[in-house]
Amino acid sequence: MSVSTINFSIQKAENSKVNAVEWDNLPFGKVFSDHMFLMEYADGEWKQGAIMPFQNISMHPAMSAIHYGQSIFEGLKAYRTDNNEVNIFRPDMNAKRFAESAKRMCMPEVPEEIFMEAIRKLVEIDSNWVTNRPGYSLYIRPYLFATDELVGIKPSDKYKFMIITSPVGMYYSEPVRVKIEEHYTRAAIGGVGRAKAAGNYGASLYPAKQCQIEGFHQLVWTDAKEHKYIEESGTMNIVFQIGGRLISPTEDADTILRGITKRSVLEVAKKWGVEVEERKVLVEEIVTAAKNGTLEDAFGAGTAATIAQIAIIGYRDERLELPPLEGRTLSNKIKAYMDDMKTGRIDDEFGWNYKV
Ligand SMILES: *Cc1c(COP(=O)(O)O)cnc(C)c1O
């Protein structure tokens, strides 16, 4: 299927709500743009997709996604460039990951061309929601869920693929405090950790809340079996810097979400000649480095924050403090570089911007 043959029905909203947005006081993910995308799957095929005014959807009380969790999502962003164009960052990567998540959850895959064109068209129609305010972007949320009207456990025959978008500012305004988790588990080998499956996030809330009571923002997840190896942090991948090298947990096992931000950060670093190691990372190695002062930096990488530098790592009863942010030259430089690339202030030498 080529893009030219993809034909969505389009119904425009009568009035735009964009002028009512309080940009200086924007809560994350609570304000939505004027339109949304909806495409249904039934009878073994995808039906025609539609762009329509943002609205509630009705559901059957037995809708299977609610009962048995066949539900996946993606997250990506559109940016306004300095010469007033709109770019989406690497949507092809999200399309591929969405298809992999669907496969793991026994759901029909959305063809990459449809996924990309649906996002492109929706963002084009709501392009006045992509502001050029520094640090702001339009968060794009594609999701797919099972809609069989049946209380019986089996792969659903019907699904809805939807996309909504939400203008957002900076995700974390301060450096984050994280705690290494040694009891609860995010993902086990053979499980669904690699999929952006809704249930993974529901399951993380209780453990995360416990660490928040102790004054941390997020957990650092460790392997399910021994809690000896670091996996990721909250809903971000994690990267450490020791001796000038960037070190990040390998994604070989299916317990780590394969983040597009981390992949991009490491590609940029490699291009700059920085040594990059993706391998198993022992908790002990990081704790020791933090204690003896060789841990130069640690940060989370994800679409929401791009790079969220870590101020404190909690480990058992200790709080290990990391160096001040000003000294973290490499991550500061990568963050600035990525921001500049997405907003067109510098050349897109990797070809990561997808023009709307
Ligand atoms: C989405 C997500 C990430 C980050 O992925 P990006 O593609 O960089 O946004 C990392 N870990 C988890 C668990 C996630 O859900």
Question: For a pocket test of ligand 1, which of 235, 248, 268 has the largest count of ligand atoms closer than 8 A to its C-beta?
Answer: 235
pLDDT at residue 173, rounded to an integer: 65
Residue 200 alpha carbon, nearest atom of ligand 1 = 13
pLDDT at residue 28, rounded to an integer: 87
Domains and CATH numbers, the chain: 3-169 (3.30.470.10), 176-342 (3.20.10.10)
Among 129, 204, 226, which Cα is nearest to 168's?
A: 129
Compute, in angstroms, the gap from residue 259 CA to the centroid of ligand 1: 5
Compute, in angstroms, the gap from residue 236 CA to the centroid of ligand 1: 5
- As a whole number, mean pLDDT of residues 91-112 equals 98
Compute, in angstroms, the gap from residue 284 CA to the centroid of ligand 1: 24
Residue 196 alpha carbon, nearest atom of ligand 1 = 15
pTM > 0.75: yes or no: yes
> Which residue is associated with the tokens 């029909």?
108
Rounded CA-CA distance 351/203 in Å is 36
Residue 264 alpha carbon, nearest atom of ligand 1 = 8
Q: What is the pLDDT of residues 199-241, one digit of tens each?
A: 999 999 999 999 999 999 999 999 999 999 999 999 999 999 9
**Residues near 240 by Cβ (< 8 Å), separated by ≥ 6?**
246, 247, 248, 281, 286, 289, 295, 297, 298
**b/e map of 221-234 (b: 16 or more CB within 10 Å)?**
bbbbeebebbbbbb
Compute, in angstroms, the gap from residue 150 CA to the centroid of ligand 1: 32
Q: What is the pLDDT of residues 150-208, one digit of tens each?
A: 999 999 999 999 999 999 997 756 899 999 999 999 999 999 999 999 999 999 999 99
Rounded CA-CA distance 209/187 in Å is 18
Going by the DSSP 8-state scheme, the letter that residue 183 receives in this structure is S
User: Could you please report the per-residue DSSP string of 139-176?
Assistant: EEEEEEEE--B-SS-S--S-EEEEEEEEEE--S-SS-E
Q: Report yes or no: 101 and 199 within 8 Å, Cβ to Cβ.
A: no
* Nearest Cα residue to atom 2 of ligand 1: 235
Residue 234 alpha carbon, nearest atom of ligand 1 = 13
Compute, in angstroms, the gap from residue 237 CA to the centroid of ligand 1: 6
- The CA–CA distances, whole Å, from 344 to 34, 77, 81, 103, 188 equal 26, 14, 5, 35, 40
Within 6 A (CB) of ligand 1 lie 75, 196, 232, 235-237, 257, 259-262, 301-303
- As a whole number, mean pLDDT of residues 68-91 equals 96
Please determine, for residue 310, whether its predicted confidence score (pLDDT) is greater than 70.
yes
Q: Report yes or no: 164 and 32 within 8 Å, Cβ to Cβ.
A: yes
